Structure 1
Amino acid sequence: MRLDFMDFKKNINGKKVAVLGIGVSNRPLIKSIVNMGANVTACDKMFREEIGCICDEFEDMGVILNLGPDYLDKLDNFDYIFRTPSLRPDLPQIEKAVKNGASLTSEMEEFLKYCPAEVIGVTGSDGKTTTTTLIYEMLKKEGYNVWVGGNIGTPLFDKLDVIKAEDKVVLELSSFQLMTMKISPDIAVVTNLSPNHLDMHKSMDEYIQSKKNIYKYQDAKGMLVLNKDNSITRDMEKEAKGNTVFFSISKSLEKGAFLDGANLVLIENGNKKTICSTDEIKLPGIHNIENLLAASAAISSLCSIKSMRDVATNFMGVEHRIEFVREVNGVKYYNDSIASSPSRAAAGLNAFKQRVILIAGGYDKKIPFDGLAIKGIDKIKLLILMGATADKIENAFIEEMGKQNKRIPIIHAAGLKEAVEAARDKGEEGDIVTLSPACASFDMFKNFEERGNKFKEIVNNL
C-alpha cells in the first residue's frame, strides 16, 4: 500500500531541504518541492558557469545555491537531505547531518513511497535498460497507460499528481539508487549479477546487498523475477517474501519463461505457451533473448502472449546497444557503448557469428578483465585499446593467450577517433567493428551516451 502524496506535501511545507546534485533527475524535484512550500538549498560540486542558466531560474524561485568543491560542508540544520544516486550515503558530511537529525532520502525513494500505480522495477549488472524498455513496450501494446523512469526516460517525481492507480510504472534502478532504499517495487526483476561499479562500492558484497533492496521490502503480494542461470540471483529466491518466478536460456522451468529449443516459452498455471521462435527476433545476441524472457516473466499476469510476441518480433533495440551505425567499404560498424563492464562486452561479442574488431577501454571501475579475455579470445580478430584501462586489458589478454597458446593482435590508440581510424585501416571487406568498451566512459566522456554519439559521428564521417 502506497502512502498518500497529500501527506508528503503537507509534511514538506516549511521544511529546510538540501538537494545534493543539480543534475537532470533532481531539477524537477527541486521545482516541485519549492512549489510545495519547502525552503530549498541546491548543492552541487560544479560552479555556476558549468551548471548553466538553471541556476538563475532556481534563484528566481527562492532556491539558495551552494556550489563548488566544498558543497557538502554546509549541511547543518536541514530537515531533509535528498541524495543524488552517485553520492555515497556514508560520506562524513552526510553522516554528520543525519546524526544531527536530518532525514536522508532520494527522488526515487520518495517517488516509490507515494506512487499510486503498480510499479515494476528492473535491476542487474547487464540488460537493465533493454529489459525495462521491453516491459514498457509490452505493457503499452496491451493498452495500459505506462510511465518509464529511473535510469531511463524522464524523472517521474513531478508526475505523481497525474499518475493514476490503474496506470503502470516501469523503473530501471541502479545499485546507487537502491543503496538507501527502504521500499521495493511491486514486481522486482534482477536480470543478472556480476562484478560492477567496484570503484563506487566498497566490495562485491555491498554491491549485491544494494541490489537486494529491489525486493527486500516486498510483502507476500510482491513478485520477484530472477535469472535461474546466474548463481547469485538464483540464490535470492531464499529471501523472497512473495511469489518468485524464474527465467532461463538453459533450463526447463515448471513456471516462468525459458528457451525451449528454438522457442521462447512461458509457463503459467501449468500451461505452456509459445511466445515466438528465436528466428523471429530482431534483437541480436543470446543476452537479448534473456532480456525478452525476463520481461515476459515479469508481466505474465498483466499481458497477453500476443502483446509479448508483437514486441519480441518487432523491437529493434535501444540506442547504444549493439546499434548498427554504417557500412563502409564492406566493413560494418556497431555502437555498443552501453557495454561498460567486461561481462556486458562479452555478451556483445556473442551477438556476432564471426570474430570482430573490438574497440575497448576507458575509465577503471576496478573490475578484473580476466573473464573478458577468456570469453573474447576466440571472438576477437583484432583488439584496439584506448583509455585508462588499455594496459590492464592488454595484460589480461596476454596472460590468457599464454594459457591457451593462442594469439590475437593488440594495438593501442590515443583516443576514440584514432581507434576508429585504426579499425578502418586494418579492416577488410566482410569485417565487423564494434565499440564494446568493457569500461565506463568517465576518463574521456561525460557518459556512455556521449561516447556512443561521438563514435557514430566519427564513423559517419569516415
Structure 2
Amino acid sequence: MNLQEYFASLQGKTVAVIGFGVSNRPLVERLLEAHIALTICDKKSREALGDVVAELEAKGAIWSLGETYLDNLHQDVIFRTPGMRPDVPALKNAKDSTITSEMEVFFSVCPCPILAVTGSDGKTTTTTLIAELLKAAGHTVHVGGNIGHPLLCEADAMKPTDFAVLELSSFQLMTMPHSPHTAVMTNLAPNHLDYHTDMDEYVEAKANLIAHQTADNVAIFNADNEITMDLSHTAKAQVNLFSRQRAVENGVYLQDGTVFVAEHGEVTPVLQASDIRIPGLHNVENYMAAICAVWGLVSPEMIQSVAKNFGGVAHRIEWVRTLDGVRYYNDSIASSPSRTMAGLHAFTQKVNLIAGGYDKQIPFTELGAEIVTHVGHLILCGHTAEKIEQAVLSAPNYEVGKPVIYEATDLAQAVALARSVSKEGDVVTLSPACASFDQFPNFAARGDKFRALVQNLE
C-alpha cells in the first residue's frame, strides 16, 4: 500500500487525531485535503491554540478541546499521539475503532528500506551518524521519528532506492505492528519509568523494534549490555553485534584503539577511535552501531572522513565556549543517570557538573558513586537535587568535600556558581541525569538556555 492508497482507504470513514502538535500538523492538513471527516482532539483550549482553530474549521475540521477532549472518541480510525499510553480509558473504550499512529502508518506505506534505532541512550547520535554516513556515500536519506520531522506525508515522494532512518522511542514502539529492515538496539537501562508501569513493560516496548522482523532483515545489538544481549537471542533476523569490550564473530568491535568489522570469518580494520571527532567512549559505541547498520553501503574511506569531520549533535556533549581557560559543554540530552555517567566518562579529568531536574523515579545510587569518582564540584538544582545529593553522600567511595556540593535555585544561578568555582583548565558540563519538565518544556529548551547563559558570561 502506498500513501495515496492509504488515504483512499479512509474515504467514507471518520478519523480522530489526538494531539495537535508538530508531528500531527501535516497529517491533519493532508486528511482535510482528502475531504475526510476529521476530529482534532487536544487538551489545550480554543484560546490557547489561537487562530488555527478557525482556520482548520473552515477546511472542515471538528475540534474537541479542553479537559473533556477525549470524551467522544468513537471514530473509525484514531491516531494516538506517542505521549499517550494506549491503555487510557478513552482508548480502551473505543473498542470498534482502529487505533494507530503517524509512525505506524508510515511503516506500512514507506516505499524504501527503513533503518531504525532505539535504546535508552545514544539513539539520536547513532541515528544521525547512520544518516550522515549514508548521505556521504551519495544516498538520499529521510530522517524522522523522534528527530527530524514527520515523514508520513512525504512518503509518496520517496523512492525505493532512498533510505528512511528513524529514531524510535518506547512510546512509539509500544503498539508498533511493524519492524524495520535494519534494527539497532544501542543499550537498555532504566528510563521513562514515570510513563511505563515497570522496567519489564519498558523493555517489552523496545523489543517491538525486532518483534516483526524476518530472516531477511538485520538486527544489531550492543554485546556489552546484558538486556540487549538477552533480546538478541529472541531475534528472527540476522544478528550482528557491536562491542568495545571483546571481539565479535559478526559485527563491529574495538580492539587496541582500532574499530574492526567482522563478517563471515573476515576481519577488516575500518577506523581509529582517536580519529572520531566527538568525545567519549560512548560515541565510539555509537559509531560502531552505525557502522554495523551501513556496512556494505558505505566505504571505509567514507566512514573515516565522516568520523574526522562530524562535530556532533546539539545538546550531546556539545562544546559551547572556552572562557578564561574553562571549557563549557552542553549535555542537556542526558536525562537519565546512565546518560550522565557516559558523559562523565567522556572526559579524562574531573569535571564541574551541573545536574538535577524532573523526577522520573529512576534511582541515583550508581550515579552517586560515579559522581564521587569523576566530579570536583557538583552543582544541583531542580526537584531531584536532594535525591542526587543523598546518593553522593551515601556512596561507599565518598569522602567529605569530595566533591564539593552546591545547590542552586535555577539554571542561571547554577551557571554563575560554576563560573565562580572553576579555574583555568577545568571543564563545566550540564549533564542533568533527569528530564527537564520541572523547569523547561524539553531538554532542547534547557540546553538552549544553558548555551545562552554561558555565552553571556563575562
Q: Give distance in 2, aligned partners of 1:80 and 1:293.
A: 40
Does 1:106 pair with 2:101?
yes
Structure 1 length as normaliser, TM-score?
Answer: 0.96
Q: Aligned residue for 2:255?
A: 260
Deviation, structure 1 residue 71:
1.0
Alignment of 1:167-246 (within 5 A): 167-246=162-241
Q: Tell me what 1:31 maps to.
A: 29
Instruction: State the alpha-carbon separation in 1 of the partners of residues 390 and 50 from structure 2.
Output: 42
Contact 1:345 1:436 in 2 (8 A): yes
Percent identity over paired residues: 50
The Cα of 1:366 is off from its aligned counterpart by 0.7
Match of 1:342 among 337, 346, 351: 337
Q: CA deviation at 1:54?
A: 3.1
**For residue 85 of structure 1, what is the aligned residue in structure 2?**
82
1:156 aligns with 2:151: yes
2:392, 2:398 within 8 Å by CA — same for their partners in 1? no
Matches for 1:46-445 after TM superposition, within 5 Å: 46-76=44-74, 78-97=75-94, 99=95, 101-400=96-395, 402=396, 404-405=398-399, 407-445=402-440
User: Aligned letter for 2:56?
Assistant: F
> For residue 445 of structure 2, what is the aligned residue in structure 1?
450
CA distance in 2, matches of 1:60, 1:277: 59
C-alpha deviation, 1:122, in angstroms = 0.2
Give the Cα separation in 2 of the matches to 1:59 and 1:271: 62
Tell me which of 2, 7, 10 is aligned to 1:9.
Answer: 7
Deviation, 1:309, is 1.8
Query: Alpha-carbon deviation of 1:238?
Result: 1.5
**Residue identity opposite 1:38 in structure 2:** I
Check the 8 A contact 2:218/2:238 in 1, yes or no. yes
Per-residue displacement from partner, 1:438-461 (whole Å, max 9, x unpaired)? 000011001000000000111111
For structure 1, the 5+ residue unaligned runs are none
DSSP 3-state at the match of 1:198: coil
Q: How many residues align?
A: 456
Instruction: Decide which moves more: 442-451 or 275-284.
Output: 275-284
Question: Offset at 1:39?
Answer: 1.0
CA RMSD of aligned residues (A): 1.2
CA distance in 1, matches of 2:51, 2:269: 53
What residue in structure 1 maps to residue 17 of structure 2? 19
Matched letter for residue 433 of structure 1:
V
Give CA-to-partner distance per residue, 1:309-358, whole Å, 9 cap, x none. Answer: 22122111000110111122221111000000000011001111110110
Counterpart residue identity of residue 186, structure 1? H
The Cα offsets for residues 30-77 of structure 1, whole Å up to 9 and x where unpaired, read as 11122223211111111233334433332232111111122111213x
What's the CA shift for 1:133? 0.3
Counterpart secondary structure, 2:373? coil
Q: Distance between the aligned counterparts of 2:288 and 2:55, measured in 1?
A: 45
Which residue identity lines up with residue 460 of structure 1 in the other structure? Answer: Q
Amino acid at match of 2:89: P
Take 1:285 and 1:48, find their aligned partners in 2: how far apart are those partners? 47
TM-score where L is the length of structure 2: 0.97
CA contact (8 A) 1:224 1:242 kept: yes
Structure 2 residue 451 is the aligned partner of structure 1 residue 459: no
Deviations 1:167-218 (A, max 9, x none): 1000000000001101011110000000000000000000000001111001
Q: Tell whether the 8 Å contact from 1:14 to 1:37 is kept in structure 2 after alignment.
A: no
Q: Is the 8 A contact 1:360 1:437 kept in 2?
A: yes
C-alpha distance in 1 between matches for 2:5 and 2:360:
41
Q: Deviations over 1:338-394 (max 9, x none)?
A: 000000011001111110110001111110111211222110001111111111111
Q: Is the 8 A contact 1:263 1:274 kept in 2?
A: yes
Letter in 2 for 1:90: D
On the 8 A contact 2:240/2:250 being kept in 1, the answer is yes
1:307: how far off?
2.1
Partner of 1:375, secondary structure, is helix
Compute the displacement of 1:403 (Å): 5.2
Give the AA of the match of 2:204: Q
Shift of 1:404: 4.5
List runs of 5+ in structure 2 lacking aligned partners. none
